[in-house]
Amino acid sequence: MTYVALSAWFLGGAVVIAVIASLVAGRRRASLAGVGITVTVLVVLTAVFDTLMIATGLFHYSPGHLLGIHIGLAPLEDFAYPIAGAIMLPAVWAALRARRRSRIGSTGGEDRA
């Protein structure tokens, strides 16, 4: 399996989970602007630090499994993981908060969030 195929499966799974979590969260879903800013910051950080790690020889990729597109020294496939995290985690967090609020509301307890 190539890195791009693995990245595509990982990113696709994260998007599916994010969509389901957003539906569960309802009105309290994650902010699209916040997710966009987070994706931008993580892409920049990934480009900088992956380039540094690759340049110092901490790791390398087999060229036969890459698309050949790089940002700095970081292959394009390396950006799928931080993007997936930035898309999925806020949606899951919002869904868990919405679920917690609905559970607390139905039991008559106080919401301390």
Task: Give me the pLDDT at residue 30, please.
Answer: 81
Percent pLDDT > 90 in the chain is 50
Contact 94, 29 (CB under 8 A): yes
What gap in Å lies between CA 22 and CA 25, rounded to an integer? 5
* Model confidence band, residue 98 (pLDDT cutoffs 50, 70, 90): confident
Residue 101 CB contacts under 8 Å (≥ 6 apart), including other chains: 28, 111, 113
Task: Give me the pLDDT at residue 65, please.
Answer: 83
In eight-state DSSP terms, residue 56 is T
pTM of the model as a whole: 0.77
Over range 66-91, report the average pLDDT. 92
